C-alpha cells in the first residue's frame, strides 16, 4: 500500500515504509462485522465507520480477487462499464485489506469476521510445527503434495487448522439465510468447505452463470432477509499472468463490469437490495531488479530451519541462528521484520 492512499484513507498507520491494515473501522474485517451487526447477529469486533449501505433486506458482497481500489479508479478513467457502475454507487470508499494480503488469509477474515491473529491462517502456505511441515492452506495438505485434503484423508479434521465457525453460522442462528456462489474448480477445496460452512452453496462455470445466479437470488422472494457472498477470480488470474497495466487485464475488468451492469445492476429495481463490490487485495508492478529467486539461492536456503513460506510479497523465513544473511539479501528491496515486530505493531490484528 503506497503513500498516495492516505489522501483517500486518512489516518493510515505505518511502520517504517509499510502501511498497516486498519482493524478499527476502515478495513475488510470491519465489513464482516458490519454484516453481522446489520442482521442482528453477534459481531466479533469493530464495524465499519460508515455501514449505512448495509441497511437493506438483501445484501450481496462480490469479492473481485485482485482488483484494488487504485486499480479500480485507474481503469475507470478509460473503461466505460466501470464508470457506469461507479456512477450508480451510493458509497465509494477505500478500506484496507489485512496482512498478509493473500487470498487465503483475506477470505478467512471476510468469512469469519476474525483477524489473522485470531484465525491463524497467515498465508498461502505456512509452517505448522505440530504437523512437522509446511502446509498448503487451500488444500490442507503438505506443500509437497499436489492433491487435495492430504491431512483430512489421514484422519485429521480441518478444524485443527481452520476456524470452525463462520459468519454464516452466526447469521443462521439469527434467522437469516445465506448463500455462497463460488467457481466449480475451487468450491470443494478444504478451505472453501470450511469458510462457507453454514451457507447454502452454489457453483458456477463462467462469469455469465455467476451473474445470472446472483441476479436470480437478489430478485427472488424466497427469503425476506438474506446475505449472499460471491467470488470472482478472473481479474487476479489475468493480473498475475499479464500484469495489472496490460491490455488483457483491462479487457478482463471491462468484461466483468459489463456483465455486472447488464445482468445485475441494470435489472435490480428493489430498493431493499445492496450490492457491494470489494477485493481481497490489489496488484502492483514489481521492478525486475526487485525479484529474488529463493529456489536458486542455496546459501540463503542453507541458513533456514524450514523452506520459505507465505507468498511472494510477504515471505516468512525461519533462520537457524542470526538473520544477517536475510538483511544482506533483502534490505534494499524489502522490509525485514522480526516476528515480534509483526505482532507488536498490529500487522495481524489483535
233 φψ region: left (φ > 0), alpha (ψ -120 to 50), beta (else): alpha
CB-based contact 343:337 (threshold 8 Å): no
Can you tell me the distance from the alpha carbon of 330 to that of 290, in angstroms, rounded to the nearest whole number? 9
Consecutive 10-residue averages of pLDDT for the chain (350 residues): 64 87 95 97 93 93 96 95 94 94 97 97 95 94 91 95 96 97 95 97 98 96 95 97 95 98 92 94 86 88 92 91 82 88 93
Within 10 angstroms of residue 332's Cβ, the number of other Cβ atoms is 9
Please state the separation of Cα 277 from the chain's center in Å: 12
pLDDT of residue 170: 97
Residue 241: how many other CB atoms lie within 10 Å: 10
Residue 222: per-residue pLDDT: 93
DSSP one-letter code for 283: -
pLDDT score of 4:
61
Query: CB burial class (10 A; 0-12, 13-18, 19+) of residue 340?
Result: exposed
> Strand locations in 38-111, DSSP E?
58-64
Q: What local confidence, expressed as pLDDT, does residue 238 receive?
A: 97
d(CA 42, CA 66): 29
Rounded to the nearest angstrom, the gap between the alpha carbon of residue 335 and the centroid of all alpha carbons in its chain is 22
Cβ atoms within 10 Å of 295's Cβ, excluding its own: 8
DSSP 228: E
The answer to whether 135 and 143 are in contact (CB under 8 A) is: yes
DSSP-based three-state secondary structure for 338: coil
Question: Cα separation of 271 and 88, whole Å?
Answer: 13
Amino acid at each position: 500500500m503506497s503513500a498516495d492512499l492516505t489522501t483517500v484513507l486518512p489516518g493510515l498507520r505505518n511502520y517504517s515504509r509499510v502501511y498497516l491494515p486498519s482493524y478499527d473501522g476502515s478495513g475488510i474485517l470491519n465489513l464482516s462485522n458490519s454484516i453481522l451487526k446489520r442482521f442482528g447477529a453477534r459481531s466479533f469486533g469493530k464495524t465499519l465507520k460508515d455501514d449505512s449501505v448495509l441497511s437493506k433486506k438483501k445484501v450481496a458482497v462480490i469479492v473481485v480477487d485482485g482488483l484494488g481500489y487504485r486499480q479500480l479508479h485507474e481503469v475507470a478513467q478509460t473503461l466505460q462499464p466501470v464508470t457506469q457502475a461507479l456512477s450508480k454507487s451510493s458509497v465509494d470508499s477505500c478500506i484496507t485489506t489485512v496482512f498478509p494480503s493473500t487470498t487465503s488469509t483475506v477470505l478467512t477474515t471476510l468469512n469469519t469476521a476474525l483477524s489473522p491473529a485470531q484465525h491463524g491462517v497467515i498465508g498461502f502456505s505456512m509452517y505448522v510445527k505440530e504437523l512437522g511441515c509446511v502446509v498448503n492452506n487451500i488444500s490442507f495438505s503438505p506443500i509437497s503434495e499436489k492433491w487435495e485434503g492430504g491431512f483430512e484423508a489421514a484422519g485429521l479434521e480441518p478444524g485443527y487448522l481452520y476456524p470452525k465457525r463462520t459468519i454464516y453460522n452466526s447469521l443462521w442462528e439469527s434467522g437469516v439465510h445465506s448463500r455462497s456462489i463460488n467457481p466449480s474448480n475451487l468450491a470443494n477445496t478444504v478451505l472453501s468447505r470450511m469458510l462457507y460452512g453454514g451457507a447454502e452453496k452454489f457453483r458456477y462455470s463462467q462469469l455469465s452463470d455467476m451473474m445470472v445466479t446472483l441476479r436470480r437470488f437478489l430478485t427472488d422472494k424466497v427469503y425476506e432477509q438474506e446475505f449472499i457472498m460471491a467470488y470472482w477470480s478472473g481479474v487476479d488470474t489475468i493480473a498475475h499472468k499479464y500484469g495489472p497495466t496490460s491490455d488483457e487485464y483491462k479487457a478482463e475488468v471491462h468484461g466483468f463490469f459489463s456483465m455486472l451492469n447488464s445482468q445485475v445492476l441494470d435489472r435490480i429495481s428493489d430498493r431493499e437490495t445492496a450490492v457491494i463490490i470489494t477485493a481481497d487485495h490489489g496488484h502492483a508492478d514489481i521492478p525486475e531488479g526487485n525479484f529474488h529467486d529463493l529456489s536458486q539461492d542455496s546459501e540463503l536456503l542453507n541458513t533456514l530451519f524450514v523452506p520459505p513460506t507465505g507468498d511472494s510479497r510477504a515471505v516468512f523465513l525461519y533462520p537457524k541462528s542470526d538473520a544477517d544473511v536475510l538483511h544482506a539479501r533483502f534490505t534494499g528491496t524489502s522490509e525485514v521484520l522480526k516476528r515480534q515486530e509483526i505482532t507488536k505493531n498490529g500487522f495481524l490484528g489483535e
